[in-house]
Amino acid sequence: MRHAIWGAALLAASCAFTSSHAQQYPRRPVTLVIPFPPGAATDAFGRIVSQRMAHELRQQIVVVNRDGAAGVIGTDYVARAAPDGYTLLWGTSSGLAIMPALGKKLPYDPRRDFAPVSLGAKIAWVLVVHPSVPAGSVKALVALAKARPGKLNFASAGTAGAPHLAGELFKSMAGIDIVHVPYRGTALFATDLVAGQVDLGFASPVTTLPFTRAGRLRALAVTATTRLDAYPDVPTMVEAGFPGYELTQWYAMLAPAHTPADIIATLNAAVRNALADAGVRKRLTDEGGIPSPTSPEGLDEFIRRETASFAKIIRTAGIRTD
């Protein structure tokens, strides 16, 4: 009987401690590390979400940009931080899934060194062609590519980036031979695409919208599973005849591994509430984003699936970045 009473007392004390811990957090400002420079989409999305989270948590969230090595420096910084909920990561598909899928030697392990909080937002890509390309639909583009193997080319903002992988997935699923032309950044890629130096490409809605509205590019499909607010009349790749096609760039919030579960739950609720806010959703969708909250377990599974999916595309295309 004494053992039972003692066990019950310990359980009650543990629950009281956990409840107290959850109520006390956060007691001071929280740092959100964004592993890219100010002004990038990663930075913009992270700031939009964190501003609303600060309201939810009733505590300041200080955004710190620790860029370098394509996001590796900032991501590793958080992996090594104290697991107390006061240093968080606004991680990206590049640092958490694409680089691991490429077999890059990283100073951190995305699944071992982080405690997932929630997926934040996705960015779908828009398949656009120059008006000189005689194809008004994805079906027509595939037929044209099959009639001219190796003659059409597609541009991207860099090798192994999400737009490049979107193009390689399209090539593989359509069974077509089109040539990849990598650029160093979006600006150069967009300039040549609009000028007709390259035939087609996958780019963000923010990049493509001014040109498609002006008739200087033609939008054929989007790479999300649902249509975009910016392109309500443009079908998804699934609707265009490619079941299972989805490829997005995404952003997620994570904490260092071993962060207490009650803190993770508090942060997850704050992210969910932020992404449910009408003002936040509008700001994200205006920037081409798709609010995409998950549970911590859902984010963990999502990263696992995405890494496997990217690895398959990379193997099939024979992509190397060495």
What lies within 8 Å, CB to CB, of 264 at 6+ separation is 85, 115, 116, 117, 255, 296
The CATH architecture one would assign to domain 126-222 is 3-Layer(aba) Sandwich (3.40)
Give yes or no for residue 17 having a pLDDT over 60: no
Does the CA dihedral 153-158-160-163 come out positive or negative?
A: negative
pLDDT digit string (tens) for 100-150? 999 999 999 999 999 999 999 999 999 999 999 999 999 999 999 999 999
Q: List the beta bridge partners of residue 118.
A: 253
Mean pLDDT for the chain?
A: 92
Percent of the chain at pLDDT exceeding 90: 87
Give yes or no for residue 268 having a pLDDT over 90: yes
Look at residue 23 in the predicted model and tell me its pLDDT. Answer: 61
Give yes or no for residue 12 having a pLDDT over 60: no
- Mean pLDDT for 181-196 is 91
For residues 316 and 40, give the distance between their C-alpha atoms in angstroms, rounded to a whole number: 30
Give backbone dihedrals phi and psi of 232, rounded to 5 degrees, phi first.
-65, -25
**In which band, very low, low, confident or very high, does the pLDDT at 321 lie, cut at 50, 70 and 90?**
confident
Give yes or no for residue 225 having a pLDDT over 70: yes
For residues 219 and 239, give the distance between their C-alpha atoms in angstroms, rounded to a whole number: 14
Look at residue 40 in the predicted model and tell me its pLDDT. Answer: 84
pLDDT digit string (tens) for 230-262? 999 999 999 999 999 999 999 999 999 999 999
SS3 state of residue 197: coil
Look at residue 39 in the predicted model and tell me its pLDDT. Answer: 86
CATH of domain 29-122+249-317: 3.40.190.150
Q: Where are the domains of the chain?
A: 29-122+249-317, 126-222
For residues 140 and 134, give the distance between their C-alpha atoms in angstroms, rounded to a whole number: 8
Q: In what order do the strands lie in the sheet with 114-124?
A: 61-65, 30-34, 87-92, 248-256, 114-124, 289-291
| Residue 243: cis peptide before it, omega within 30 degrees of 0 | no
Q: Same fold for the domain at 29-122+249-317 and the one at 126-222? A: yes
